[in-house]
């Protein structure tokens, strides 16, 4: 039974960044183009890619953590319907690490994107990237979001064939209908001859003699679509969600590609995030800090009642367990950390001033160093030193 963490050689709590790094390193090592097409390397490359495909997707990683490999096979959006083949692995690698123009891995390997052996097939639609901004409260509760994006859909006029009425496609003259071209390539690994996608027909093996006027022979046109994204609780901006087979249709009847939803967590005015812990500043008055009080600490979803111990110092923090961000794998939650700020009256009334003067008269000698902890003589002196600071600052 495959353990995807073992496959990539990462710990079970590895960060998305660590997983990506581990995959990139191993995938470069076992990439078929770097191993003269060795079947062994190809199999390993496929395994690595399959593991990465699951672990980089927060939702599927969570399912894998809970249910093992069975939890991520063939189930729901993003399951491997019909299996994960070497073609998928290569495309995935290109998509994530291909780089685009100049100096990308496509250039490095010189091979370009390979087609499955054994003839032409319909090209899959290109992956679409879309950014989804999330509020902290959506991260804490999880969310179902609907997004409107423009996608390439099958052309209505030609039914996606790309051919004007009645025009039958002819076999491509460049590749004779195989969809592949033999081509001499130069790369950092030296010159070699490789099979690549036919450039005339993009691997489809056919040529359109009389293109459809609406889509210019592409077989697809752009239109507005609505997609639904399930965002699991606990994600970060490092995570992304893949909607397999929901993106652009391929040219002339090719299957739909994927949509990659990149997540962007908006800054929150009140809370700062430390992993799955949330830190919030809570102002309390002098009297509350000295005497103790029951205070309300704001959480992301609701307020939490907390006992403020007497004699707490400004800057000390109270940990409220399990009120932070849920773990992405569904086990437990981080904590809410209330950082206490003792609030100093800015405009004390004459009455308050009189009371503070009386406090000053009762004050012990100030401690020579910052007191540590609460209680005992140190804590008591700490309080008086705070009172003194309030007058001298």
Range in contact with Zn ion (rule: CB under 5 A) among 80-88, 153-161, 227-235, 331-339: 153-161
Range in contact with Zn ion (rule: CB under 5 A) among 200-208, 267-275, 323-331, 378-386: 200-208
**Angle value at C-alpha 242, between 241 and 245, nearest 5 degrees:** 155
Q: Could you say which of 19, 158, 265, 300 contacts Zn ion (CB under 5 A)? A: 158
Residue 182, beta-bridge partner list: 195
Interhelix angle 16-30/86-97, nearest 10 degrees = 120
Give dist(CA 270, CA 278) in Å, integer: 10
**Of residues 216 and 321, the one with the C-beta less far from Zn ion:** 216
Query: Do strands 259-265 and 271-274 pair parallel, antiparallel, or not at all (unpaired)?
Result: unpaired
Give me the residue label for tokens 């962007």.
264
Q: Could you say which of 21, 73, 121, 157 contacts Zn ion (CB under 5 A)? A: 157
172 binds Zn ion (CB under 5 A): yes
Can you read off the two tokens belonging to residue 116?
Answer: 């499955």
Range in contact with Zn ion (rule: CB under 5 A) among 168-176, 245-253, 255-263, 293-301: 168-176
**Of residues 108 and 155, the one with the C-beta less far from Zn ion:** 155
Q: Which residues contact 362 (CB under 8 A, 6 or more apart)?
A: none
**Of residues 153 and 230, the one with the C-beta less far from Zn ion:** 153
How many amino acids of this chain bind Zn ion (CB under 5 A)?
Answer: 12
212 binds Zn ion (CB under 5 A): yes
Strand order of the β-sheet with 336-343 is 271-274, 277-285, 336-343, 317-320
Query: Do strands 277-285 and 336-343 pair parallel, antiparallel, or not at all (unpaired)?
Result: parallel
**Angle value at C-alpha 268, between 264 and 274, nearest 5 degrees:** 80
Beta strand segments in 232-289, E? 240-243, 259-265, 271-274, 277-285
Give dist(CA 218, CA 222) in Å, integer: 11
Q: CB 217 → Zn ion: shortest distance, Å? A: 7
Range in contact with Zn ion (rule: CB under 5 A) among 22-30, 166-174, 225-233, 255-263: 166-174
Range in contact with Zn ion (rule: CB under 5 A) among 47-55, 193-201, 244-252, 364-372: 193-201
**Of residues 200 and 329, the one with the C-beta less far from Zn ion:** 200
Give dist(CA 313, CA 308) in Å, integer: 11
Can you read off the two tokens belonging to residue 122?
Answer: 């319909």
Range in contact with Zn ion (rule: CB under 5 A) among 63-71, 175-183, 323-331, 356-364: 175-183
Q: Are 324 and 334 in contact (CB under 8 A)?
A: yes
Q: CB 216 → Zn ion: shortest distance, Å? A: 8
The torsion angles phi and psi of 273, rounded to 5 degrees, stand at -105, 130
208 binds Zn ion (CB under 5 A): no
174 binds Zn ion (CB under 5 A): yes
214 binds Zn ion (CB under 5 A): yes
198 binds Zn ion (CB under 5 A): yes
Residues 46-85, mask of contacts with Zn ion (x by CB under 5 A)? ----------------------------------------
Q: Could you say which of 155, 243, 300, 308 contacts Zn ion (CB under 5 A)? A: 155
Q: CB 327 → Zn ion: shortest distance, Å? A: 48
Note the residues at the interface with Zn ion (CB under 5 A).
Answer: 155, 157-158, 172, 174-175, 198, 200-201, 212, 214-215
């Amino acid at each position: 039974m495959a353990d995807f963490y073992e496959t990539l050689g990462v710990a079970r709590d590895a960060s998305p960044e660590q997983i990506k790094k581990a995959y990139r390193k191993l995938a470069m090592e076992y990439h078929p183009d770097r191993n003269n097409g060795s079947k062994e390397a190809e199999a390993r490359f496929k395994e690595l890619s399959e593991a990465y495909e699951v672990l980089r997707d927060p939702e599927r990683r969570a399912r894998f953590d809970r249910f093992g490999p069975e939890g991520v096979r063939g189930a729901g959006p993003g399951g491997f319907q019909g299996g994960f083949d070497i073609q998928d692995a290569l495309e995935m690698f290109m998509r994530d690490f291909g780089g685009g123009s100049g100096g990308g891995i496509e250039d490095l390997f010189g091979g370009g994107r390979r087609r499955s052996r054994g003839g032409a097939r319909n090209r899959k639609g290109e992956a679409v990237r879309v950014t989804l901004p999330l509020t902290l409260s959506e991260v804490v509760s999880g969310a179902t979001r609907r997004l409107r994006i423009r996608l390439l859909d099958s052309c209505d006029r030609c039914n996606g064939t790309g051919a004007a009425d009645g025009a039958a496609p002819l076999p491509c003259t460049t590749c004779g209908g195989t969809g592949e071209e033999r081509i001499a390539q130069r790369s950092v690994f030296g010159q070699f001859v490789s099979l690549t996608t036919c450039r005339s027909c993009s691997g489809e093996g056919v040529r359109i003699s009389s293109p459809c006027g609406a889509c210019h022979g592409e077989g697809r046109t752009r239109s507005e679509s609505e997609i639904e994204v399930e965002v699991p609780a606990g994600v970060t901006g490092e995570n992304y969600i893949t909607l397999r087979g929901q993106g652009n249709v391929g040219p002339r009847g090719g299957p739909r590609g994927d949509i990659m939803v990149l997540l962007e967590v908006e800054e929150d005015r009140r809370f700062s995030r430390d992993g799955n812990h949330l830190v919030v500043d809570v102002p309390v008055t002098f009297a509350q800090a000295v005497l103790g009080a029951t205070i309300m600490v704001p959480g992301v979803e609701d307020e939490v009642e907390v006992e403020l111990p007497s004699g707490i110092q400004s800057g000390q923090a109270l940990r409220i367990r399990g009120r932070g961000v849920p773990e992405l794998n569904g086990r437990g939650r981080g904590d809410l950390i209330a950082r206490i700020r003792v609030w100093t009256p800015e405009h004390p009334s004459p009455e308050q001033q009189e009371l503070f003067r009386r406090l000053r008269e009762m004050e012990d000698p100030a401690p020579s160093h910052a007191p540590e902890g609460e209680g005992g003589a140190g804590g008591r002196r700490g309080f008086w030193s705070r009172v003194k600071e309030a007058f001298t600052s």
